[in-house]
């Protein structure tokens, strides 16, 4: 099995990579700085390929996927993403477009290139790890991050419909809070206060199962999903009071 993970140098992407290494996959890991893998046990995996690029750079994405896919591409997983809350963007408006270029445009670049490779071989699967924030309907003062993740889920849905007749599956994984190093850094060193916090191991287990079963959407945990659905039913005035 030949697997490429964009965003595979940290977080859920790296944890997924460790799973696929144990399964004996031929693996390519991509990120802005592949040297982040130095010293990680996965770096010694025989045949590991590393690619360094910004997912917002369409040509770089096509070059990397095209190179690895010369020998086949069974699974492309996109976990790359940027986060910035409303306060951060208000303080630095230059952060808004890079977020969209990574979470939205970059995903299209990856899925375009992956689709080209998989259409040639007549099979394959693509997956994106989005966020449960993308299930929030637009509401007063809703965040750009949530809007970008709504777009990511919609992009996966569109590619699924387009590629299904060609034997290519597309899965959108929609997790809640996962206890990654990045989430801890964003929360002063600990994410323990986040509701229904999932371990990386649990997130990987659910993601792998969703990919194996080729489901359209994998949303977890159910408790946070239920909370989001209730929030979407609230009057706009009450939604405005949500803390970003």
Q: What is the pLDDT of residues 136-148, one digit of tens each?
A: 999 887 899 999 9
We report the CATH number of the domain holding residue 199 as: 3.40.50.720
Mean pLDDT, residues 127-154:
94
Residue 174 lies in a domain: yes
Residue 244 lies in a domain: no
User: Distance (Å, rounded) from C-alpha 18 to C-alpha 27?
Assistant: 10
As a whole number of angstroms, the distance between CA 124 and CA 121 comes to 8
Convert the pLDDT of each residue in 197-236 to its tens digit. 999 999 999 999 999 999 999 999 999 999 999 999 998 8
Whether residue 158 has pLDDT greater than 90:
yes
Banded pLDDT at 46 (limits 50, 70, 90): confident
Task: Kindly state the average pLDDT of the residues 30-53.
Answer: 93
| Apex 101 CA angle, 198 and 109, nearest 5 | 90
The predicted model gives 123-138 an average pLDDT of: 97
- Residue 181 within a domain: yes
215 part of a folded domain: yes
* Residues 6 or more apart in contact with residue 165 via CB below 8 angstroms: none
In a domain, 108, yes or no: yes
Q: At what angle do helices 106-121 and 58-68 cross, to 10 degrees?
A: 30
Task: Decide if 80 is inside a domain.
Answer: yes
pLDDT interval class at 244 (50, 70, 90): low
Question: In this model, does residue 86 exceed pLDDT 80?
Answer: no
Indicate the pairing of strand 124-129 with strand 168-175.
Answer: parallel
Position 169 scores a pLDDT of 98
User: Structural domain tally of the chain?
Assistant: 1
The predicted pLDDT at position 239 comes to: 83
- Domain with 141, as residue range(s), is 2-239
Confidence of residue 243 (pLDDT cuts 50, 70, 90): low
């Amino acid at each position: 099995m030949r697997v490429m993970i964009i965003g595979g140098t940290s977080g859920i992407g790296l944890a997924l990579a460790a799973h696929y290494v144990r399964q004996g996959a031929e693996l390519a890991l991509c990120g802005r700085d592949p040297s982040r893998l130095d010293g990680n046990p996965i770096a010694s995996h025989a045949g590991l390929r590393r690619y360094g690029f910004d997912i917002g750079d369409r040509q770089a994405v096509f070059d990397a996927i095209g190179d690895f896919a010369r020998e086949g591409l069974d699974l492309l997983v996109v976990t790359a993403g940027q986060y910035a809350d409303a306060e951060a963007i208000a303080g630095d408006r230059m952060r808004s477009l890079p977020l969209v270029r990574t979470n939205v445009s970059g995903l299209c670049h990856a899925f375009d290139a992956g689709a080209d490779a998989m259409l040639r071989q007549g099979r394959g699967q693509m997956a994106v790890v989005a966020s449960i924030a993308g299930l929030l309907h637009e509401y007063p003062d809703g965040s750009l991050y949530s809007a970008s993740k709504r777009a990511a889920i919609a992009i996966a849905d569109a590619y699924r419909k387009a590629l299904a007749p060609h034997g290519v599956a597309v899965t959108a994984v929609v997790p809640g809070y996962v206890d990654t190093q990045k989430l801890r850094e964003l929360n002063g060193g600990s994410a323990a206060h986040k509701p229904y916090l999932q371990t990386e191991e649990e997130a990987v287990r659910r993601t792998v199962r969703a990919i194996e079963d080729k489901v359209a959407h994998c949303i977890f945990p159910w408790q946070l999903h239920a909370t989001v659905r209730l929030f979407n039913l609230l009057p706009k005035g009450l939604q405005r009071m949500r803390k970003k």
